[in-house]
Each structure stands twice: as structure tokens, then as C-alpha cells.
Structure 1
């Protein structure tokens, strides 16, 4: 890596992402960081001129405060990570004469980005559309397993254990994500109808090109399902959110669900993913009526 002691703040963060982050973190995380850098380039163009040695915690906090009215807390959290982690690496290069950026705060007024699950009715509509949509069985597989997009893309035949009815997730965004996922009967059926390729070990392929499934293919799939169903908030992550919500509504043990999802803690599962629909909540209230007033 060429060291330019006059490098600007933005150029350094861009170089940090390419050199230190991309080789070691999941593709989705890198894409998220790249999107945040694009926001900085657009909304804070002065960072493209600011010398790295003049960047400090006060300046970084002012940038976060400036963007709090426009972007969600999750975006600002990614920005906070970029500021801190890139400054730590830069501080280890003597030629930069830069300082580590310490603790930064996310303003309370920043919005909280939420992902909601499909209602049971919406899920039924999506599942019916998936039956006749190109690669629609992949959407069904997501709804049956709760996998992350990159986890499905990385599934190979050696990861599938037919006798045990499990798949092994060997590449994930966190250590807890490395796990065995038990399969329901329909998920088993979907895997078993996949043709094996002589060119690679991937389980899921594009039927048109015979190449392994990629995040781009999954993106196009949910856009097709949006058009067919009118469910305009559908994304690959919504499948996962829906799987978790239905599992709890149907009585799955939350600790088991947390393990299946690959979460570090049960608390995170409850806080992040479980948003029962209104109909289910009403059914739970009616259940109390039936217990206390059975007649």
C-alpha cells in the first residue's frame, strides 16, 4: 500500500475499506460500509479535502450530528464504526500523524430503522406467487429456514446432511452464525430437487446460466415478487424476520430459535426480530377470555 502523508480523510476511509475490511468481512457488511461512504461523499464533500491529520473526534461528532436528521440510527452506527476503526488503523501509520477517534454518540432524534415481518395473509400471498415465479422456491426456502442471504449463497452440497436433515452454515457474519440448521420437510424437498453441477459444489444455481446464486440474483427475485404481490417492502431480510416471528407465534422455544438464527443472545432475538401481527395479538387476548370466562 502506497503511503501518502497528505492523504485526505475521505480517501483514507476509502483505502481502509478496500484494504482492511473487504478481505475479512462479509460482502453485505462491505456493501453497507460502501453505501455509508457514498453518503459522506454526497452530503459531506468537505471530507474529500480535509487532511487526515486534521480529522478528530469533535469533527466526526459534528458530522454525525449533521446527518442525524436525514439518516437512521443504523446508518449512523455504521458511520461511527467507520470513523473509529479507520482512525485506529491510521494512527498506527507514523507518516499520517493522525489521532484515534474515540467514543462518538448517536443523537436521540435520529430515526430507528425498522424491518417488519409479513403478516400471515401477506406471507400466504408471497408463498402463492413464489410457486410460479422464476427461482421462487428460494424465497420459500428462506421463509422455511430464516437464513441470511449470504448464508444461502455459500451453501455447498457437503454442507447438506440428508440423514440428519440439517445444513451446516460454515460462513456467516458472526461466530455465532456458524451453526447447524435443522430442516423442515418442505425445505428438505427444495434441496433435493436441486440439480448438481459438474462445475462447482453450490446447492442453489441460476437456472438460466447455471451459475451459483448471488446477492444480486436474490435482489432481483424479491423485486419480481414485489411486482407480483404488491408487497412493496419485501426484501431478503423480511423473509428472515417473518420466519422468526412465525416461529415464536407458533410456539417455538426462543432459545432454540436464537440458535437456529445464529444470534449471540436470546435477548437480541426478542428485541430485533419478534413483532407479532395484530391478528395474533388479538388471538392471545381472546385466549385469556376463554380461560377466565369459558362460557
Structure 2
């Protein structure tokens, strides 16, 4: 039952919005929103009445959340986290207006926290060579997964969910049609309760076919199981998956044994995109291979920030000098 009163707290309003959202979004999306609300929004909004909300108050809340982050950690939040929190808060206020709990007002623009913006982290060519040498020397389905991500740009959830019936070595491509992730079960009354789920990728563009190079096909042919069907690529077993958390730990161990910096697995995807830019693959093709929702995301993230590409272009300019 909707609680229509100006004594409604902002945290209660957001909980109502989340409850109404539950049946219209994927479980993983609802879990993410709930997690961010419980850990980042609720501590700052559970004593705020919607009756005092205006543009200045909301801006003050956003500033507090951005600077304070998670209350028990007291660390500033990243730009990506703040964008999600901003969306949840703005959606809750719109919902409050729709049920008559508050008056509509111009919502403040989210001010970017430049200090929290992080540069893309990827493997430099020498680092990538060292990593690939290690993979081939310690070859297994688990180590080959790193190679697959380096040369297809798969996200860790897509790789962990990958089964052999998605890989067509004869035609030379793999299909991305599912992902695996561990989500928080906020409704269980235990903030630490989690569950592993396998689902379709979040967007239609994320469902894609990725061509495989001849070199990668030759390597993968060393792994093909007798019974392909839905045998998992990483575990080589049917119905048994290697979840992302486990694979991240494996990746961390590999980096340690290679003497490489401890960076996240997502750096493999960034490396793939960066190499694509460096060899001149057009941005629209790169965007499709990565499963991005639009080309601008690819352009801004990889093309505009690629130092190697910028260096090559500056060399071309330097060749015009009359010396």
C-alpha cells in the first residue's frame, strides 16, 4: 500500500520505488539498485523527510554521498557509482511526485568528481607478450580464458558463462548470449547473502557474434572436449561453472607468477580494445565487438584516450617539418 504523506522519509520513498521496480527489471539489476541503496543511499536519507526536499537539499545530499561514500569505509565514490546513485535518487523523487508525496522541482545536475575518474588500465605490449608466453607454457582451459579475453574482449561474466556450444571453430566465431554473476539478496534480511545467477546479457547489443583469428582457433582446437554440448569452457565440465570471483583470484595468481602489476581482469578487455584502435580497426566495428550500447561510448573510452594512437598521429604531423 502506497504511503501518501509529507512525513514520508526519503529512504522510505526509495524503498517504495524499488519495490515497484522489482517485477519490471532483471533480478541482477534490482539487486544492484538495492545494494547501492542499502550501502550508499540509505545511511544519508533515512532521517530526511521528503517535505524538506528541494534542489539545494538534494545537491547537498549528493555531495555528502560522493565525499563520504560508504559510511563504514569513509572513502569517496567513483564517478560510475555516483551516476548510479544519482539515477536511483532522481527516479525516487519522480516517483514521489507521481504519488503526490512531494512537489516536483528542477533536479540538480550531477557534478563530476574529477579526482574519482580513473584512467583506463591495460597491458602494454611487452607485458602482454610476457602474459601470453606464460599462458602457452602453462596451458589449460583456465589459462586459455585469459587469451580469449585478450583477443575477443569478453567481459569476465561472459567468459565464465561461456560453453562450448557457443564456440564454432569451423566457422571461426563465438556467440555471446549469457553471463554469470553473483548478486546480493537484499530481501533475505542478511546483507551478506548472495546467489550466483546465469542470465542473458543486459542489453541487446551485448548479445553478439565475435570472429576468431586463425591463431586463436588453432590454440582453442587443443582444448575441444569430446562431448561439446553445454560443457563449460573454463571448467571443462558440464553444468559446472567457474564464477567470476574464483576466476579473478586465478588471474591474480597468474599475474603474480608473471611478475606483472596486479590489475583487474577487465584490463584484458581494455587491452583488446586498445590494440584494435592501434591497428586501425574502425570504431563502429570495435563497438560491435565489445557489445557497447553506442559508438560514442567506444569513441570516448578508447579512441580519444589512446596514447599510442595519438603518438602515431603526432609522428605523421612531425614528418611535415622541413628538417
Tell me which residue corresponds to 1:243.
272
Please give the per-residue CA displacement for 1:164-195, whole angstroms capped at 9, x wherever unaligned.
21222233232222222111234435554154
After TM superposition, give the deviation of residue 55 of structure 1 in Å. 4.9
TM-score, normalised to structure 1's length?
A: 0.75
Tell me which residue corresponds to 2:70.
none
Contact 1:146 1:240 in 2 (8 A): yes
Whole-angstrom distance in 2 between the partners of 1:137 and 1:203:
13
Which of 123, 128, 131 aligns to 1:126? It is: 131
Contact 2:206 2:290 in 1 (8 A): yes
Contact 1:87 1:101 in 2 (8 A): no
After TM superposition, give the deviation of residue 290 of structure 1 in Å. 6.7
Whole-angstrom distance in 1 between the partners of 2:166 and 2:203:
18
Tell me which residue corresponds to 1:201.
230
- Secondary structure of the equivalent of 2:175? strand
Tell me which residue corresponds to 2:21.
20
Alignment size in residue pairs: 286
- In structure 2, the gaps of 5 or more residues are 68-75, 178-199
Whole-angstrom distance in 2 between the partners of 1:221 and 1:99:
52
After TM superposition, give the deviation of residue 46 of structure 1 in Å. 4.0
Whole-angstrom distance in 2 between the partners of 1:218 and 1:263:
23
Cα separation, partners in 2 of 1:92 and 1:248, compared to 1, 3 Å: same
Whole-angstrom distance in 1 between the partners of 2:127 and 2:295:
27
After TM superposition, give the deviation of residue 272 of structure 1 in Å. 0.6
Which of 221, 234, 256 aligns to 1:227? It is: 256
- In structure 1, the gaps of 5 or more residues are none
Which of 142, 156, 161 aligns to 1:149? It is: 156
- Secondary structure of the equivalent of 1:168? strand
Which of 111, 117, 123 aligns to 1:107? It is: 111
Tell me which residue corresponds to 2:47.
49
Whole-angstrom distance in 2 between the partners of 1:225 and 1:22:
41
Contact 1:84 1:100 in 2 (8 A): no
- Secondary structure of the equivalent of 1:225? helix
Which of 208, 213, 217 aligns to 1:184? It is: 213
Correspondence 1:218 to 2:247: yes
RMSD (Å) for aligned C-alpha atoms: 3.9
After TM superposition, give the deviation of residue 21 of structure 1 in Å. 5.8
Contact 2:274 2:302 in 1 (8 A): yes
Please give the per-residue CA displacement for 1:45-81, whole angstroms capped at 9, x wherever unaligned.
3422334565554433212223445333222211111
Contact 1:9 1:48 in 2 (8 A): yes
How does 1:32-71 map onto structure 2 within 5 Å?
A: 34-35=35-36, 37-41=38-42, 45-51=43-49, 55=53, 57-69=55-67, 70-71=76-77
Correspondence 1:84 to 2:90: yes
Which of 125, 136, 145 aligns to 1:138? It is: 145
User: Which shifted more, 139-148 or 204-213?
Assistant: 204-213
Please give the per-residue CA displacement for 1:140-161, whole angstroms capped at 9, x wherever unaligned.
1110100122322343444333
Whole-angstrom distance in 2 between the partners of 1:63 and 1:21:
25
Whole-angstrom distance in 2 between the partners of 1:7 and 1:232:
49
Cα separation, partners in 2 of 1:124 and 1:276, compared to 1, 3 Å: farther
TM-score, normalised to structure 2's length?
A: 0.70
After TM superposition, give the deviation of residue 7 of structure 1 in Å. 6.6
Whole-angstrom distance in 2 between the partners of 1:127 and 1:197:
28
Whole-angstrom distance in 1 between the partners of 2:264 and 2:314:
31
User: Which shifted more, 118-127 or 158-167?
Assistant: 158-167
